[in-house]
Amino acid sequence: MAEITSQEEKQKLVKAYTAMVLSRTLDKKIVNAQRQGRVGFYTPTMGQEALQIGAAMALDEQDLIYGYYRDVPLMISRGVPMDLIINQIMGNSADIAKGRQMPSHYGSRKHNFMSVQSPVATNLPLAVGAAYSLKYRKKKGVVLTTFGEGSTSTPDFHAAMNLASVYELPVIFLCENNGWAISLPVEKQTRVDIWSKAAAYGMPGIRANGNDILETYEAVKAAVKRAREGKGPTLIDAISFRMGPHSTSDDPTKYRSESVPEGSEKDPLTIAEGTLKALKLMDDKMIENIKQKTIKIVDDKFDECEKIPPPDPITAFEQVYSEQTWMLKEEVGDIL
């Protein structure tokens, strides 16, 4: 277990644990709602809370995030309000993008969280460009970009790693190595450890237990320090496990037998609880209390968001360009 001693870091850890519980509770809520037909689709994040929230603990507000579609805990730990996430999942009129994107494709400029795309790893070159902007404008910020281990097979991963290194840019490449790219296990994705790929680009590669919040935090903290000092990018291989399916449309029993049950010793929440108790920051009663309170908060927020009406259909044809084209004006007239 990594050491934390300062009061500030201890407080951070308590806050981070609360975010983990909120993420887990919200995750389960959305999955259940999907089964009830109240939500169309979802990519569960269960199992990846520690690595995402541990990473966020190492960032400042002005740092930029270029994430992917399994980053709800990362958003929550950045202070993104829960209703922004639920509204996106529901695609209602309060959603920033007015229900244009399928669930799990959020973003919030206010929280420096770039809106998410589906094609994997295409966010990585953008993160490099974002980091170039920061460096060019002599700003202090760094860029965190996240992706699954399946993404390391893409040309975008290679391009981004190489470019970030060549231009010595402040990028932290956080591989959320959950072992599975839908049905493909990591052993069939690549023949080498993910962290070792960093050597090919001349940057450090760090392996971290992604289920241990403090270990990921320490790894990202070191990478952030390096980036802020102008020493360039780092690759972090945060090894974790996708406790749920790839998405609500996926049945993992078809391709894998291993599992990490909730509450088992590999569950990142269990590990975090052990840490909190060892540091005497919480006891079982407090933990149970947080969990129960969070269920109520999530249920209430979910019900509240569910009452928000769907977007006006006309909004589906807006914001394609700075000004609506004559074609679209005509087409909207025909459709509506």
Size of the site for other proteins (CB under 8 A): 48
In DSSP terms, 199 is beta-bridged to none
Min CB(72)–other proteins separation in Å: 17
Which helix (H) or strand (E) segment holds residue 51: the answer is helix 49-57
**189: which residues sit within 8 A by CB, 6+ positions away?**
149, 150, 152, 153, 181
Which helix (H) or strand (E) segment holds residue 130: the answer is helix 123-136
Which helix (H) or strand (E) segment holds residue 127: the answer is helix 123-136
Euclidean distance between CA atoms 240 and 177, whole angstroms:
6
Please pick, from the candidates 6, 7, 36, 109, the single residue that binds other proteins as defined by CB under 8 A: 109
Query: ∠ CA(286), CA(290), CA(294), 5° rounding?
Result: 170
Q: Per rule CB under 8 A, is residue 115 in the interface with other proteins?
A: yes
HSE-CB at 327 with a 13 A cutoff on CA atoms is: 2
Please pick, from the candidates 95, 176, 212, 237, the single residue that binds other proteins as defined by CB under 8 A: 95
The answer to whether residues 211 and 268 touch, using CB atoms and an 8 Å cutoff, is yes
Q: Per rule CB under 8 A, is residue 92 in the interface with other proteins?
A: no
Region from 38-46, 251-259, 297-305, 326-334 binding other proteins, contact rule CB under 8 A: 326-334
Region from 68-76, 115-123, 182-190, 246-254 binding other proteins, contact rule CB under 8 A: 115-123
Catalytic-residue membership of 242: yes
Q: Per rule CB under 8 A, is residue 156 in the interface with other proteins?
A: yes
Please pick, from the candidates 11, 32, 35, 166, the single residue that binds other proteins as defined by CB under 8 A: 166
Q: What is the DSSP letter of 270?
A: H
Q: Per rule CB under 8 A, is residue 218 in the interface with other proteins?
A: no
Q: Which residues are catalytic?
A: 242, 246, 255
List residues near other proteins by CB under 8 A.
Answer: 64, 66, 95-98, 100-101, 105, 107-109, 114-115, 117-119, 122, 124-134, 136-137, 155-156, 158-160, 162-163, 166-167, 319-322, 325-328
